[in-house]
């Protein structure tokens, strides 16, 4: 099927439904609780009006969706090498994206889109807000053909594609995927990693449930603090341990489910010069990225994962420089949830074109531990001792305090022994961590600028810090020998300044 993108074209007509549905969804999310309470409390006539109102909202959304669809066009400007989107019902907006600035292309299929059988296509560049460049409904063929054009960075190739669409198509078969994560591996990953995110998720969920139950009770005018009462009455030693076990169980189950939903059928395959990464259980997510545009390659492993031989990887790309929400940062980071040592090496080879070799390692001075000890051990302990003097109730908790001091000291000591930077001819590797030990790898030509700093009282000791700023974040090494650091900085500057390589 010859697909010509040089003429402006619309998305698929199903886009009306999709954008209508988005409007309804946004409205419903904002109004859910007030509406629910209103529905419970109101009488029949009011109910009728509300329903009429809702139908009205739905119709208006669809009409808006129709106009949005009419006014939304996109095309590929082969002359200027730009992808152009025209959109906007009331205010018109034209977005042009230079093709060589595109970092990755996401092709997603949400639940609603799956029902209708369309895909959405998102384009990430270093500078833009990712939501800006989003085509919400196109057919599979168009999505993949478009993605092909957008990620072919080779300038000669693009012009030839424009002439000879048909000839290129047969070659665009994907190479066989070189990483495929099986459900068994996913289970292992779910049991061993990313507890932090699941804890945050559960806390958020728990708070929302607590808050909403109170809202509903308030609506019925009989909130007499039952919820708080329930929690208070439940606190005994036995119930705490039962609760603890339940929480750990729920945490692990959530973690496994989350991992499955997000990473089910995870695959990476090579294609021309780019990597295609796809995953997802309910909503399929396809991402194409260009290895040269990855700024920081990170892999990490914790104690359990070491035992079963799994690595987590993250490929970090340039972000827009403004403050970003955590979600956006994560969208910029392509995560590979679990891979074996050989698969990890394969990905590294793909992105860095060779495996990092050993180099000179720099270790921090023991004064690295001073500040953490003051802030996480001495100050809290002093606080506890003050309470110990004046409040009798807290005295019984002294074993807990001792336990805390021991664990915190151990953690600080581990973080000290793991903090290290290794520099070789072509790579800089920063290692850090306490539980998850991660290694971040950058190539010298990805460095944007370098800062060194030193406290006046460290001058005689010759201790200092260095930070390498890259487009995907900073890499810093603290409390090192300052003379060595200065030599290192001179060497890195030399490499950056003679390098002809582009950082993206």
Binding residues (CB under 8 A) for other proteins: these are 126, 318-319, 321, 447-456, 467, 469-471, 473-474, 486-487, 489-491, 493-494, 496-497, 502-504
Phi first, then psi: what are they for 125, rounded to 5°?
A: -120, 170
Which is closer to other proteins, CB of 318 or CB of 441?
318
Whose Cβ is closer to other proteins: residue 241's or residue 487's? 487
Query: Tokens 């000890």, residue?
Result: 373
Of 449, 492, 496, 457, nearest to 474 by C-alpha is: 449
Cα(493)–Cα(490) distance, integer angstroms:
5
| Nearer to other proteins among residue 295 and residue 305 (C-beta) | 295
| Residues in a beta bridge with 463 | 481
Minimum CB separation from other proteins for residue 498, in Å?
A: 8
CB 438 within 8 A of CB 432: yes
Least distance to other proteins from the beta carbon of 267, Å? 31
Quick one: tokens of 475? Answer: 């890499």
- Taking the complex as a whole, the smallest distance from the CB of residue 273 to other proteins amounts, in Å, to 18
* Closest to other proteins by CB, 133 or 496: 496
Alpha-helical runs (H) found in 74-225: 111-116, 140-151, 155-163, 165-168, 183-192, 195-219
> Of the two residues 73 and 324, which places its CB atom closer to other proteins in the complex?
324
* CA separation for the pair 476, 319 (Å, rounded): 18
Question: Are 445 and 460 a contacting pair, CB within 8 Å?
Answer: no
From the CB of 292, what's the least distance to other proteins, in Å?
A: 14
Which of 213/493 has CB closer to other proteins? 493
Cβ proximity to other proteins: between 194 and 454 the closer is 454
Report the C-alpha gap between 268 and 279 in whole angstroms: 9
Q: How far is the CB of 302 from other proteins (least distance, A)?
A: 28
Instruction: Tell me how far, at minimum, the Cβ of 115 lies from other proteins, in Å.
Output: 41
Q: Which residue has the tokens 């007030």?
A: 34
| Residue 401 parent element (H or E) | helix 398-418
Q: How far is the CB of 295 from other proteins (least distance, A)?
A: 9
Q: In terms of Cα–Cα distance, which of 431, 422, 478, 473 is closest to 453?
A: 478
In the complex, minimum distance from the CB of residue 432 to other proteins, in angstroms, rounded to a whole number: 18
Compare residues 158 and 202 and give the one whose CB is closer to other proteins: 158
Please tell me the distance from the alpha carbon of residue 319 to that of residue 297, in angstroms, as a whole number. Answer: 14
Min dist. Cβ of residue 491 to other proteins (A): 5
Give the DSSP letter of residue 378.
Answer: I
Element (H, E) at 82: strand 82-87
Contact 34, 40 (CB under 8 A): no
Complex with other proteins: residue 255 or 297, whichever CB lies closer: 297
Q: Cβ contacts of residue 409 below 8 Å, gap of 6+?
A: 373, 377
d(CA 429, CA 477): 11
**Look-up: residue for tokens 């074993």?**
399
């Amino acid at each position: 099927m010859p697909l010509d993108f040089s003429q402006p074209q619309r998305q698929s007509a199903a886009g009306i439904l999709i954008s209508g549905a988005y409007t309804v969804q946004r409205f419903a999310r904002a109004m859910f609780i007030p509406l629910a309470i209103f529905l419970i409390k109101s009488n029949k006539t009011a109910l009728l009006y509300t329903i009429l109102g809702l139908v009205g909202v739905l119709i208006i959304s669809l009409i808006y969706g129709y106009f949005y669809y009419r006014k939304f066009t996109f095309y590929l400007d082969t002359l200027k090498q730009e992808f152009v989107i025209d959109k906007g019902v009331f205010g018109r907006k034209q977005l042009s994206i230079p093709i060589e600035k595109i970092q990755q292309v996401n092709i997603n299929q949400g639940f609603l889109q799956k029902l209708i059988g369309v895909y959405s296509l998102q384009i990430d560049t270093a500078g833009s807000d990712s939501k800006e460049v989003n085509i919400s409904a196109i057919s599979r063929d168009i999505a993949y053909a478009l993605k092909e054009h957008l990620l072919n960075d080779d300038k000669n190739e693009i012009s030839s594609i424009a002439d000879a669409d048909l000839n290129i198509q047969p070659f665009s078969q994907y190479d066989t995927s070189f990483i495929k994560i099986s459900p068994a591996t996913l289970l292992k990953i779910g049991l061993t990693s990313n507890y932090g995110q699941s804890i945050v998720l559960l806390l958020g969920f728990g708070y929302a449930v607590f808050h909403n139950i109170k809202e509903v009770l308030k609506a019925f005018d009989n909130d007499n603090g039952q919820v708080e009462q329930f929690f208070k009455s439940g606190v005994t030693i036995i119930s705490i341990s039962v609760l603890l076990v339940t929480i750990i169980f729920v945490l692990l189950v959530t973690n496994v489910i989350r991992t499955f939903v997000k990473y089910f059928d995870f695959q990476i395959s090579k294609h021309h010069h780019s990597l295609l990464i796809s995953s997802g259980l309910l909503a399929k997510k396809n991402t194409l990225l260009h290895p040269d545009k990855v700024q920081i390659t990170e892999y990490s492993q914790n104690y359990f994962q070491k035992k079963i031989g799994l690595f987590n990887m993250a490929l970090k790309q340039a972000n827009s420089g403004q403050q970003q929400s955590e979600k956006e940062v994560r969208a910029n980071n392509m995560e590979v949830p679990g891979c074996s040592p050989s698969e990890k090496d394969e990905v590294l080879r793909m992105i860095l074109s060779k495996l990092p070799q050993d180099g000179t390692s720099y270790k921090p001075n023991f004064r690295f531990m001073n500040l953490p000890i003051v802030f996480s051990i001495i100050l809290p302990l002093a606080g506890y001792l003050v309470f110990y003097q004046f409040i009798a109730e807290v005295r019984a908790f002294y074993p807990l305090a001792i336990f805390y001091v021991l664990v915190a000291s151990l953690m600080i000591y581990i973080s000290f022994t793991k903090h290290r930077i290794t520099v070789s001819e072509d790579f800089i590797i920063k290692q850090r961590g306490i539980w998850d030990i991660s290694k971040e790898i950058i190539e010298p030509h990805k460095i944007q600028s370098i800062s060194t700093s030193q406290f006046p009282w460290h001058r005689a000791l010759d201790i200092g810090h260095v930070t390498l700023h890259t487009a995907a974040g900073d890499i810093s090494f603290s409390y090192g020998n300052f003379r060595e650091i200065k030599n290192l900085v001179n060497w890195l500057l030399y490499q950056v300044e003679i390098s002809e390589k582009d950082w993206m």
